Copies of this chain bind each other. A is one copy, B any other.
Amino acid sequence: MSASTGRLLALIRTLGETTRAELASTAGLARSTVATQLGQLLSDDLITEGGTAQSTGGRPATLIRFNESAGVVLVADLGATHSRLAVCDFGATPLITEPIEMDIGIGPDAALDRLGEVWERLLAATGKTAADVRGIGLGVPGPVEFAAGRAVHPPIMPGWDGFEIGTELTRRYGVPGLVDNDVNIMALGERSAMIDAPNDMVFVKVGTGIGSGLILGGRIHRGATGTAGDIGHVQIATDGTPCRCGNVGCLEAAAGGAALARELTAAGLDASQSRDVVDLVRSGERFAIHAVRRAGRVIGEALASIVNLLNPTLIVVGGDLAGAGEQLIAGIREVIYQRSTALATHVLEIRTSKLGDHAGVVGAAMMALDRILDPAAVDAALERSG
């Protein structure tokens, strides 16, 4: 696909449903150019034509829609021990999804073998075949050099350092293989599900640890070495609990799911991981509610500085602990509105993830689809990150 045809397709994906006249005027292209490019997209089966738009007088215009059934992408959102796999259509909608237990420490070859087995089964269940697969999207729990599709010194992914994951996926499947940090794809997924997507948003994942994905100026901000968004080890004003990173006072050590589970266990409650903490909150356990509310305030302390610094429109809280809902968000809101400047918060919205467990796979699909369907935009992103 040429860059200009890619741009037209990107426009059709954004508009959802459109007409030749609207495309020509919105894209600023001659009707004849639009006709040529639509011909190409029709023959590639990437759009469909049919039905008519409400007439404004004159001949009714035929509607053009993006064909979300044109193919599928295989995606996975990998965690240290829990992962989620999916087959998504070209609208990034999961056709089928499955959580699996896998220790990411088995290394890239064994892990990609395992993903391959599950994807094959999921693909068969959707009635699609390998010929329908047009791309692969993967999120991993560590920093990624995006242009190279390579994990870089990932602290919790033994055996993956420097492994060219994207290249290996492309070698195995013969289609583009895209890889990014797990929280970045969650941010992308959450944003793709919004009608009126904000240019500047922060996605905060509160799971075993704490991380964030930044969308700034409409694009994922990855930073110099792919570690941007790493807020788990920012210092907050606490009693100085030691963190696994070797420092004291880290956000993650005070308010992450692992820290909360330890705190509740020490209080005699049954909580070995962050999901147990959420279950206790949901069951009305007062000590658990108190602990999650306090964690929200501690997270709010870190986010208050981020709000002043980045002035986002939206903060989305996801990850396991977001399952605690308003108890966590209330604490976060309380401190952000107390600590951030009024100027920075007057258009700010703070809420939990709408996609929940599926944010990662939807985002991984969007990442792969953007590469397949809008190569010019991705080339620009690679240039920036290069």
Residues of A within 8 A of B (CB): 143, 152-153, 155, 198-200, 212, 214, 216-219, 221-231, 233-235, 237, 245, 247, 249, 301-302, 304-306, 308-313, 338-341, 343-344, 346-348, 384-385
Contact = CB atoms under 8 A, between A and B. Distances in A.
B237 A311 contact: no
A301 B312 CA distance: 22
Main SS class of interface, A: loop
Contacts of A309: 212, 214, 228-231, 234, 306, 309
A227 B341 contact: yes
**Quick one: which of A212, A233, A311 has the most chain B CB within 10 A?**
A311
A222 B312 CA distance: 9
Contacts of A301: 235
Contact of A312 (B153, B224, B344, B346): B224
Nearest to A348: B224
A197 to B, nearest CB: 13
A343 B143 contact: yes
B227 A343 contact: yes
Given A200-B224, A348-B224, A153 B343 contact: yes
16 contacts: A152-B343, A199-B385, A214-B309, A216-B221, A223-B344, A224-B311, A227-B344, A228-B309, A230-B308, A230-B311, A230-B341, A234-B308, A234-B309, A235-B339, A305-B305, A306-B309
Contacts of A231: 305, 308-309
Given A143-B343, A233-B308, 6 more contacts: A216-B221, A218-B384, A225-B347, A247-B339, A302-B305, A306-B309
Contacts of A343: 143, 152-153, 155, 225, 227, 230
A346 B279 CA distance: 40
A218 B347 CA distance: 25
Given A234-B305, A305-B302, A245 B341 contact: yes
A223 B304 contact: no
Given A222-B311, A309-B306, A341 B228 contact: no
A228 B214 CA distance: 14
Contacts of A225: 311, 343-344, 346-347
A340 B222 CA distance: 16
Contacts of A200: 221, 223-224, 228
Contacts of A341: 227, 230, 233, 245
Nearest to A238: B237
A343 B341 CA distance: 30
A63 B380 CA distance: 29
A382 to B, nearest CB: 12
A339 B236 CA distance: 11
Query: Which 9 pairs across A and B sit closest by C-beta, in order of nearness?
Result: A223-B311, A234-B305, A228-B311, A224-B313, A237-B237, A227-B311, A227-B343, A217-B384, A227-B344
A214 B339 CA distance: 21
A76 B283 CA distance: 61
A128 to B, nearest CB: 36
A305 B235 contact: yes
A313 B308 CA distance: 21
A59 to B, nearest CB: 33
B384 A226 contact: no
A15 to B, nearest CB: 16
Contacts of A344: 223, 225, 227, 230
